[in-house]
Chain A
């Protein structure tokens, strides 16, 4: 967790370039065929369960097993490695970049992720708070719940097997919750954002400042 945050610099950066740049890599080896062009707009996955795939970005074919790969985020194709079209690539090769326009909420989240300690998901699974933590959250709200390293904070549920997750990180209060109990979380994605108790007011100041400085939602 950063102690010194230059809000002006951080907000200035978002003001001058309110986009996120997401690189897209080949998911495995195979022959790649692009289905979009540079400058194209692409859509993210949608639907209640994010089950409707986004715009197809490319198809990768390994051993006559073609697999379409779709965009997980909306935006514009800002870079396309056109030279790779139709050629064989290794897994993890950079294919393109999507320029994603940030919403106010995403900017706040982006800044918070820089200043909070983010506790990551150990495996792709569903998560819920440990009973004690849940009851404290229900009574007083997450931002009143203090946690310290070694505390049992979450239960990871995978194939009807429940595993307690012990917190490892800086002590503090649960400021942000990034998961929904019914939805799977990818390995490495943040589950909670933790803030030292004495820095809660600073975090609140950031949010207020962004809300005031950012007059539109887009």
Chain B
């Protein structure tokens, strides 16, 4: 279960630590909420997250490392464990979407989760939202109360980005199994940003005015991922007809996202690549049952977008 790799100075975690944290710390919190005894079932569905762990002092790109890991395991005739988390103390070749840079120095939480795509298509639509919810919950747990999710899953504190995700699919070369490579970057204790990022990036420690115990935060973030991804599986198993008419209910991941997001009601500029090619401005009317962004255009018409990004204006 535990894969030992050279650990960075601030990340000496093992998979067993994650498992213990999920059931000893996260479960009582969730049980005490509205989920009661069902909380354990949800976490059992999600506990594959972090079931194996690699910690590195330094990597180029965690997602590239994950890709190579899948390819090499399959070429050896082995199957790849879903839920493996790859962490790095620093990333030297990290990038954001498109050609954007992502600064990943020491002090942040940088990594990738390998997720075998066993969710149905509609649940997969909510996966991206679940990631933002997990990061926002973990950051709030540290005491940053004014952090919020911006559609789809950026996490901001007072308008400055603290956490972001990149999800890419990768097909194994031999078994053709499809994985989501869930790349995450969270500014935890790093405080210095390159000039081009200075005005819109921040870290948790800046927001708190104090440094954060990185391993503790890491455990909590992974446990929150386990919960929110677990919810996607739990709902599929418990309510097989859920997606036949999704407008009839509100998925718990979506409900939580709505509570943690400050996107609803905002005036935004929308674009597939909103920085390089902004397309139009609109007001956010809501989020559809599948996670699409409902936008009211200036002429009063409403459209729903499932792909793209926004900036508040």
Contacts and interface: CB of A to CB of B under 8 A. Distances in A.
Interface residues of B, number: 34
Nearest to B125: A159
B127 A126 contact: no
B272 interface: yes
A157 B98 CA distance: 12
B306 A182 contact: no
B271 to A, nearest CB: 7
A125 interface: yes
Contacts of B305: 184
Contacts of A159: 125-129, 152, 291, 306-307
Interface string B175-188: 00000100000000
Interface in B283-307: 291, 297, 299, 301-303, 305-307
Interface residues of A, number: 23
Interface string B191-228: 00000000000000000000000000000000000000
Given A47-B301, A51-B301, A163-B169, A126 B280 contact: no
A161 interface: yes
B168 A162 contact: yes
Contact of A160 (B167, B171, B299, B303): B167
Given A158-B125, A161-B127, A51 B307 contact: no
A41 interface: no
Contacts of B166: 160, 162
Interface of B: 97, 121, 124-129, 152-153, 165-171, 180, 271-272, 277, 279-280, 291, 297, 299, 301-303, 305-309
Interface of A: 47-49, 51-53, 123-126, 128, 157-164, 166, 181-182, 184
